[in-house]
């Protein structure tokens, strides 16, 4: 589809705000610092900027995204209230509107109904969709009815603009004023208000643009989402976007223990403090199988274009490992389903039957893990043949 923006679809207030804050940060802030930099307390404004950036950015990734959009964990009201207030300071709409757009993005990734469809170009996915109304007009908020049940979410939906301006811009200006008078107020407004908000804006926009452009696809190539450790560095861990699109309800985006994902670590800290619970995790085996299927697809692609003869033994071992894995995966899925079903129907199941089903499930997971190891060995054997 060829995209053509129409002037009548321009959201004037959003466009003026986004361009205005961007230009003020780019030009006004350096001029201000050149003129008055020696008169302000850099420790105060540096600390306030970092604090506000983390509070605002994390409220988007941990709150708007993983908590409200994906329900990847449950949070007590102080966490919901904090992320709703500081999420508003990012000036990216109310949580309800944001989550509605984001749920449509996951449901229709790369299609016309995806609000930030990367297939319509990098600029559209980054910022065009924010400043122009969708071609068919605004979409009703019917996919966030579950969130409307939360009074805090309803309150924030009504007042997010006022909260965003008061806390995101007014508060740093007030703190600056109390510490240093008029110069401090201007510094607070420009540094922790505007520059911080512009940085959070583009950090979030990059997840929609660059995270669908740059990086690898270790879990699936069914959509444009990519994994990038580099992007994760300045998106609070959201750079592992290929994993996220494949397993959107997992509270982690950087699922491997070594992957940089401050949002997942913050959720775990909240769990330790008793403020978060029910953290949703995809089983390791399911993740390993997804990675294997993607590797297998890449290998098939490589083999189809390879005219060299491959050692028959390595090929046979690989085919056997593939079959062993498929069978073990099926058995595991089946025994998992039987056990969960029996747990739900406790009245009709004896303790012994339940124990037996649990044992079967535990045995099948061991077999699946072995099949995963065998597959990796056979895969390595075959890949060495191709080098």
Strand partners of residue 277: 74
Site for Zn ion in 9-38 (CB under 5 A): none
- Residue 132: beta bridge partners? 10
What is the total count of residues that contact Zn ion (CB under 5 A)?
1
Residue nearest to Zn ion (CB): 225
Residues 210-249 that bind Zn ion (CB under 5 A): 225
**Bridge partners, residue 227, by sequence:** 216, 240
Residue placing its CB nearer to Zn ion in the complex, 225 or 289: 225
Q: How far is the CB of 212 from Zn ion (least distance, A)?
A: 6
Least gap, CB of 152 to Zn ion (angstroms) = 21
Give the Cα-Cα-Cα angle 87, 90, 92 (nearest 5 degrees): 90
Closer CB to Zn ion, 60 or 382, in the complex: 60
For Zn ion, the closer of residues 98 and 375 by Cβ is 98
Quick one: tokens of 245?
A: 């699109």
Minimum CB–partner distance for residue 128 and Zn ion (Å):
16
Site string for Zn ion, 176-215 (x = CB under 5 A): ----------------------------------------
Query: Contact letters (x/-) for Zn ion, 119-158, by CB under 5 A?
Result: ----------------------------------------
Is residue 237 within 8 Å of 254, Cβ to Cβ? yes
Minimum separation from the CB atom of position 237 to Zn ion (A): 12
For residue 82, the minimal CB distance to Zn ion (Å) is 20
Work out how close the CB of 217 gets to Zn ion at its nearest, in angstroms, rounded to a whole number: 13
Q: Which residues contact 323 (CB under 8 A, 6 or more apart)?
A: none
Q: Note whether 226 and 213 are within 8 A (CB).
A: yes
Kindly give the residue spans of alpha helices, DSSP state H, lying in the chain: 12-23, 29-36, 42-58, 77-88, 95-107, 122-123, 129-131, 145-148, 151-165, 171-180, 182-188, 196-209, 229-233, 241-246, 262-272, 284-304, 312-344, 351-386
**Interface of this chain with Zn ion, residues 359 to 378, rule: CB under 5 A:** none
Output 231 or 372, the one with its CB closest to Zn ion. 231
Q: What is the DSSP letter of 139?
A: P
Q: By the criterion CB under 5 A, which residues form the site for Zn ion?
A: 225
């Amino acid at each position: 589809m060829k995209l053509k923006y129409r002037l009548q679809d321009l959201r004037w207030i959003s466009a003026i705000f986004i361009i205005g804050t961007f230009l003020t940060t780019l030009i006004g802030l350096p001029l201000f610092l050149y003129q008055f930099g020696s008169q302000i307390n850099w420790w105060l404004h540096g600390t306030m900027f970092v604090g506000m950036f983390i509070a605002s950015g994390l409220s988007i990734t941990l709150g708007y995204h993983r908590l409200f959009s994906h329900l990847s964990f449950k949070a007590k009201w102080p966490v919901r209230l904090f992320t709703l207030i500081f999420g508003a300071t990012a000036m990216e709409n109310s949580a309800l509107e944001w989550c509605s757009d984001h749920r449509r993005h996951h449901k229709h990734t790369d299609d016309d109904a995806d609000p930030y469809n990367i297939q319509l170009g990098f600029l559209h996915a980054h910022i065009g969709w924010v400043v122009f109304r969708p071609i068919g007009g605004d979409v009703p908020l019917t996919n966030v009815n579950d969130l409307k049940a939360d009074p805090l979410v309803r309150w924030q939906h009504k007042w997010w603009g006022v909260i965003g301006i008061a806390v995101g811009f007014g508060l740093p200006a007030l703190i600056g004023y109390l510490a240093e008078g008029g110069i401090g107020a201007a510094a607070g407004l420009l540094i922790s208000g505007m520059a911080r908000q512009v940085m959070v804006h583009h950090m979030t926009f990059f997840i929609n643009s660059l995270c669908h452009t740059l990086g690898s696809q270790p879990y699936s190539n069914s959509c444009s989402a990519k994994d990038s450790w580099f992007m994760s560095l300045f998106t609070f861990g959201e750079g592992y976007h290929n994993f996220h699109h494949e397993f959107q309800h997992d509270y982690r985006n950087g699922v491997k223990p070594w992957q940089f994902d401050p949002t997942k670590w913050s959720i775990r800290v909240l769990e330790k403090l008793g403020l978060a619970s029910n953290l949703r995790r995809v089983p390791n085996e399911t993740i390993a199988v997804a990675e294997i299927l993607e590797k297998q697809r890449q290998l098939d692609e490589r083999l189809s274009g390879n005219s060299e003869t491959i050692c028959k033994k390595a090929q046979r071992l690989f085919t056997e490992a593939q079959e062993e894995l498929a069978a073990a995966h099926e058995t595991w899925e089946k025994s998992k389903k039987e056990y969960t079903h029996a747990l739900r129907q406790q009245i009709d199941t004896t303790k012994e039957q339940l124990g037996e089903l649990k044992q079967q499930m535990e045995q099948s997971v061991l077999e699946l893990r072995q099949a995963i190891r065998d597959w990796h060995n056979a895969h390595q054997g075959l890949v060495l043949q191709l080098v």
